[in-house]
Amino acid sequence: MIKKAERIEKLPVYLFAQIDKAKREAIAKGVDIIDFGVGDPDLPTPNHIIEALYKAAQDPKNHRYPTYEGMLKFREAVASWYKKRFHIELNPEREVLTLIGAKEGIGHIPLAFINEGDIALIPDPGYPVYRAGVTFAGGIPHTMPLLKENNFLPDLDKIDRKIAKKAKLMFINYPNNPISAVADKDFFKKVVEFAKENNVIVCHDATYSELGYDGYQPHSFLEVEGAKEVGIEFHSLSKTYNMTGWRIGMACGNSDILAGLGSIKTNIDSGVFGAIQYAGIEALTGPQDCIAQNVATYKERRNILVNGLNKLGWDVPLPKVAFYVWIPVPEKYTSAKLCETLLEKCGIVMTPGNGFGKSGEGYIRAALTVDKSRIEEAIKRIGSLKF
């Protein structure tokens, strides 16, 4: 019998793998599925980015191994984008690291700083990779509940002082997945103070920073004074430019922390395909109207879903950011039971909130990566049920 490593046994089945399995089984039965499950943009990558890839892919120089830290031109483009968007100065040589998507960097950063038995603070509910990365490194994930009464921000004052002093890493994520919650600069200032007091490395996941509605512009953690002394920020081209399959992202901030992550990467991967980095440069420096178009599309979908559910008697708040709707579950259901009912009775795939952590119980998540006509159809199907 082949026995898996203990680190694998400690992990739950990856949430979205479970959802994909249930979806495939329903499709095999002939069910017309409307999929609000995984947050994968259905909008295409803009043509000018594709054209940049095509041109670069024809250059034999890009067929060889890329540099481990990413080509300097791409890192300069990242630094320029950060300065224009957030007014943050970054040294592209030391304060920007190219990633094979933000997920890769998030999963690997604990290997650089977590020893066996060390504690890492993770949000609950939260992106599953925070927990997985810590577990793979032999660390102990300590959850920070994100609760409605605290605007879905972790209450840093409620973290046990002994835990705080033992913690090596802290993951935070705003705009938030799965909740679509937001954080202001005052919260980030508290995080910096907490990190300095407890000698904690802050890892901020800012993947959804460019999806803000009704004039709202999310902040970068690095905008706050002292942030670069204690942490880094993960970002990605996936959601901003509809490039999830391309696998390119970046980590920015403290040079020593990035050097630690870079050491892991040089031993595990060989960097991002050069042609994709050139496409990334085009994305960051070329026309940016695609972002406004994305936001307009997701906003229309958001309004159709939220208004439609509320007309059916649900109580769903209107998110200010990201392309997720965090939906409170009607009283007689659990998160899992409601998702099961929606799939079996309506052919609708949504994600149970408790799949992101126990504090997600009582909610389900819907990704707005579905055409508006299908959202309207979903509302009709849900309206045929008694909740």
* Mean local confidence (pLDDT), 102-123: 98
Summarised one tens digit per residue, pLDDT across range 15-33 is 667 777 878 888 888 899 9
Domains and CATH numbers, the chain: 6-44+290-383 (3.90.1150.10), 47-285 (3.40.640.10)
Summarised one tens digit per residue, pLDDT across range 226-246 is 999 999 999 999 999 999 999
Instruction: Evaluate if residue 146 carries a pLDDT over 90.
Output: yes
Quick one: what percent of the chain has pLDDT higher than 70?
98
What's the pLDDT at 109?
98
What's the pLDDT at 14?
61
d(CA 110, CA 364): 29
What's the pLDDT at 15?
64
Closest CA to 234 of 213, 264, 263, 254: 254
CA angle 150, 152, 158 (to 5 degrees): 55
Quick one: what percent of the chain has pLDDT higher than 90?
89
What's the pLDDT at 22?
79
| DSSP type of residue 206 | -
The answer to whether 114 and 138 are in contact (CB under 8 A) is: yes
Q: Buried b / exposed e across 131-140, counting CB within 10 Å, b at 16+?
A: bbbbbbbbbe
Summarised one tens digit per residue, pLDDT across range 188-231 is 999 999 999 999 999 999 999 999 999 999 999 999 999 999 99
H helix count then E strand count, the chain: 14, 12
Output the DSSP codes for 304-323: HHHHHHHHTT------SBSS
* Mean local confidence (pLDDT), 324-334: 95
pTM check: above 0.75: yes
What's the pLDDT at 167?
98
The answer to whether 338 and 352 are in contact (CB under 8 A) is: yes
Q: Does residue 27 sit in helix, strand or coil?
A: helix
Instruction: Evaluate if residue 387 carries a pLDDT over 80.
Output: no
Q: What is the mean pLDDT of the chain?
A: 95
